[in-house]
Amino acid sequence: MDKKRILVPGGAGYIGAHTVAALAAAGVETVVVDNLSTGFLEALPPEARFYQGDIRDKDFLDSVFEKERIHGVIHFAAFSQVGESMADPLKYYDNNLHGTRVLLSAMVDHGVKHIVFSSTAAVYGEPRHIPIQEGDPTEPTNAYGATKLAMENMMAWCARAYGLSYVSLRYFNACGAQKGGAIGEAHNPETHLIPLILQVPNGQRSHICIFGTDYPTRDGTCLRDYIHVMDLAQAHLLAMEYLLSGGKSDVFNLGNGVGFTVKEVIAAAEAVVGQKIPAQEAPRRPGDPAQLVASSQKARAILGWEPHHSGIEEILQDAWAWHRSHPRGYQSCARR
Ligand code: UDP
């Protein structure tokens, strides 16, 4: 990807910022566009050029495409909270679907042909079998997953009509942080399991709630495939290289292929932080499938992707290094 310039909408968010860091480390020129509604400027390395604005604003996007000669787009700009998507689906259709539509029309207008974008395991809904393969039925059980599936379909039609090529990356449970703890996961409000667990040893909550203990899993709690954010970041670089070298449009799962239950993640966190983490049983969270585990054989075979940080202990150690040094997320740092 030498001498290529990549536009990264949503590059100041969690997975976006880790991907921008990986692009910068690989010497790729990066242009970030973010409205900072959920992202943080402090998450960006100094090498990344930054434009604050909204992907739904076509004039704004046109001005960026005119100023910067862009070779490909890695698109993260979307809302991603399942619960919020159920309470306010129109907010999700507007940002995720309408935003992507405007972005695609800007790409078409400016002759940019390649796009890698964030999708999710939530496109599958309740899986029929484990591990989940890309050709399995897609029947989302929440509005967030429905908007991501609709984005995938929009890409497919646009690829046919306008000669675009795309890669859709269906992430399982993104977690962990860059080595060294300079950037990491920061959501407001936080809803994800690992950051919430680590708020207990950080003195910010008394206990973690376990949402549902009557699932058909080995200990009754939900089972998920936790994948390190730097492994996800690497997949975006490989996917963009694949498209730039003529690869055809496709969809890939990204996970480790190993599931951990909520109780197992809590126990692993206790071992990493060296203290007991009190847990309370709570009702199921609406829209949660019992288990989600990826088959990532296709990404391994076609993109040459290989997760390098797959142990749950390593994931928790990296997450803990970030949360412990940044108990209030990016509020306590200024990198730009
Ligand atoms: N979870 C939990 N307690 C919490 C937050 C999450 O038991 O305080 C469970 C949740 O029900 C799911 C798993 O942890 O089974 C992972 O949830 P998360 O929100 O991190 O990711 P998701 O699977 O929704 O993408």
Residue 97 DSSP class:
I
Per-residue pLDDT reduced to its tens digit, 19-64: 999 999 999 999 999 999 999 999 999 999 999 999 999 999 999 9
Q: 141 or 209: which carries more pLDDT confidence?
A: 209
Residue 83 has pLDDT above 90, yes or no: no
Task: Give the contacts of 284 (CB within 8 A, at least 6 positions apart).
Answer: 211, 212, 214, 215
- Looking at every residue in the chain, the average pLDDT score rounds to 96
Query: What is the pLDDT at residue 333?
Result: 64
Give 136-142's long-range contacts (Cβ < 8 A, gap of 24+).
141/287, 141/289, 142/82, 142/85, 142/86, 142/287
Query: Which of the residues 144, 171, 215, 226 is marked catalytic?
Result: 144
pTM of the complete model beyond 0.95: yes
CA distance 304 to 40: 31
Ligand 1 atom closest to the CA of 191, numbered from 1: 19
Total Cβ atoms within 10 A of residue 88: 14
Ligand 1 midpoint to CA 41 (Å): 27
**Ligand 1 atom 18 nearest Cα:** 192
CA distance 299 to 220: 30
Which percentage of the chain shows pLDDT scores above 70? 99
Query: What is the pLDDT at residue 332?
Result: 63
Residue 334 has pLDDT above 60, yes or no: no
**Ligand 1 atom 1 nearest Cα:** 193
Query: What is the pLDDT at residue 1?
Result: 79
Per-residue pLDDT reduced to its tens digit, 108-143: 999 999 999 999 999 999 999 999 999 999 999 999
Q: Is 144 a catalytic residue?
A: yes
Query: What is the pLDDT at residue 204?
Result: 95
CA distance 296 to 314: 20
Total Cβ atoms within 10 A of residue 218: 12
Helix (H) or strand (E) run with residue 169 in it: strand 165-171
